[in-house]
Structure 1
Amino acid sequence: MAKLGKRMKSAREAVAGKSDISVEDAITLIKSNAKAKFDETVEIAMNLGVDPRHADQMVRGTVSLPNGTGKTVRVAVFARGPKAEEAKEAGADIVGAEDLMETIQGGTIEFDRCIATPDMMPVVGRLGKILGPRNLMPNPKVGTVTMDVAQAVQDAKGGQVQFRAEKAGVVHAGVGKASFEADKLVENVRAFVDAVQKAKPAGAKGAYLKKISLTSTMGPGVTVDITSATGNA
């Protein structure tokens, strides 16, 4: 087993024995342990009582975090004509059609969010095996297949976060940077949890929110009291 460095050993000692604590206390711990040489991302992981292999138990959606993510999001848009111009004016980093498809097929993916107008989906559909596994495939359910490309670009750039349950029923996302003020991170965490709660699928049985953990990019995780995370404490 690899030997722990002094920083990680100290961080683990700080959270030892602390579990199911309030969101406020968890954020305080995470911020104090985020001592990497870069601005670490604060991440949330939620274990849900769902089996995403069943269509009626899939959890996915978007949430606009009240205080943004602190991350620069690169946006690609599949559009033609006036809609392509609209996307460029809204701040899209890459705009194209068949040319963009060929670039992606060639192995160049220089974006974090992909948006498309409905008429472009036959072209985008050819990229399913490339974009799908990277969770980049445009989807009308999360607002990335739309005629309002300007709004979609602004949402992506302004702190909107997409979430989707993975095979084991886990949803995770970045909810801000360690440099954020604690109260702003707390607001972001609760906004994210609220969005996941509202996305509860009809097929979910029993306990839906099973476990919530917070961590920073290079720090240890800590479990959070579910009642505190939902704002019902």
Structure 2
Amino acid sequence: MAKQTKAQKVRAELDSEKRYGFDEALAVLREHSSKKFDETVEVAMNLGVDPRHADQMVRGMVSLPSGTGKDVKVAVFARGENAEKALAAGADKVGAEDLMEDMQAGNLDYGRVIATPDMMGVVGRLGKVLGPKGLMPNPKLGTVTPNVEQAVKDAKGGQVEFRVEKNGIIHTGIGKLSFKDGDIKSNFTALTQAIVKAKPTGSKGKYVGKVSLTSTMGPGLKIDLAEIEGA
């Protein structure tokens, strides 16, 4: 018989059907953390939507009040004064045609791509490159904007994108286990409230079906939906 890993043993010990309060779930994750590195705390939400239909797509941005604990690398398509403002705000790479060519060559190590409206003629040529990675600038998400300075600050300051996958699940990190309990909980609240608020018109019946909390190496714990305002 194959030897069980530590993670498998932990999962076997826990009640897979139990619905945890957020504080209790976080305590369990801390108890069973690897201690070898700072694990990411993650949320998975199963939604009653079919994203194959346009009126059931769930997508948006939310600023996590306690940040993500990650350094987000940001690229900005802008010229002149806007390019200078983007650099001053902390953008990692700013350019126009030169940045486009760099990305076409495969240099796509970015967590967020932002563009001013006048640059979309250039950015549009990168649809097949940025689209599959979810990096294509989008005015609905605030990544096509004349205010690139604020967009860069938001990206660097803890703003994250959420987007439902084809199986109806949204999966997003909300911080690190090294964060204080209250900071992780405030991020959890901000994310779940934003997703509930983003309920699409085409969603019928129960919208939030299940919510789970986990960490990089930890077990997945079901959260009591009473913890989710509006669920």
Is it true that 1:91 corresponds to 2:90 in the alignment?
yes
Q: Give the TM-score taking structure 1 as reference length.
A: 0.94
Q: What are the residue-to-residue correspondences of 1:93-112 with 2, within 5 Å? A: 93-112=92-111
Partner of 1:173 in structure 2? 172
Partner of 1:141 in structure 2? 140
Contact 2:89 2:153 in 1 (8 A): yes
Distance in structure 2 (CA, Å) of the matches to 1:49 and 1:133: 24
Q: Secondary structure at the match of 1:120?
A: helix
Contact 2:196 2:230 in 1 (8 A): no
Cα deviation, 1:198-224, whole Å, max 9, x if unaligned, reads: 101111100000010111011121110
Distance in structure 1 (CA, Å) of the matches to 2:2 and 2:92: 41
Q: Secondary structure at the match of 2:8?
A: helix
Q: What are the residue-to-residue correspondences of 1:212-231 with 2, within 5 Å? A: 212-230=211-229
Cα deviation, 1:163-200, whole Å, max 9, x if unaligned, reads: 11111111111000011111211111111000000101
Partner of 2:199 in structure 1? 200
Q: Secondary structure at the match of 1:71?
A: coil
Contact 1:52 1:59 in 2 (8 A): yes
Distance in structure 1 (CA, Å) of the matches to 2:4 and 2:101: 45
Q: Secondary structure at the match of 2:20?
A: coil
Distance in structure 2 (CA, Å) of the matches to 1:93 and 1:33: 36
- Offset of residue 19 of structure 1: 2.3
The change in CA–CA distance for 1:71 and 1:14 in structure 2 (over 3 A counts) is farther
Partner of 1:185 in structure 2? 184
State the identity %: 58
Distance in structure 1 (CA, Å) of the matches to 2:102 and 2:2: 40
Partner of 1:39 in structure 2? 38
How many residue pairs match? The answer is 231
Q: Give the TM-score taking structure 2 as reference length.
A: 0.95
- Offset of residue 226 of structure 1: 1.1
* Matched residue type, 2:47: L
Partner of 2:53 in structure 1? 54
Contact 1:213 1:222 in 2 (8 A): yes
Please list every run of 5 or more consecutive structure 2 residues that lacks an aligned counterpart in the other structure. Answer: none
- Offset of residue 43 of structure 1: 0.5
The change in CA–CA distance for 1:69 and 1:2 in structure 2 (over 3 A counts) is farther
Contact 2:66 2:187 in 1 (8 A): yes
Distance in structure 2 (CA, Å) of the matches to 1:222 and 1:160: 25
* Matched residue type, 2:178: S
- Offset of residue 230 of structure 1: 2.7
Distance in structure 2 (CA, Å) of the matches to 1:89 and 1:64: 21
The change in CA–CA distance for 1:182 and 1:18 in structure 2 (over 3 A counts) is farther
Distance in structure 1 (CA, Å) of the matches to 2:151 and 2:4: 43
Distance in structure 1 (CA, Å) of the matches to 2:196 and 2:2: 38
* Matched residue type, 1:191: A
Is it true that 1:4 corresponds to 2:4 in the alignment?
yes
Q: Secondary structure at the match of 1:185?
A: helix
Distance in structure 2 (CA, Å) of the matches to 1:80 and 1:69: 29
Distance in structure 2 (CA, Å) of the matches to 1:229 and 1:10: 29
What RMSD, in angstroms, separates the aligned Cα atoms of the two structures?
1.7
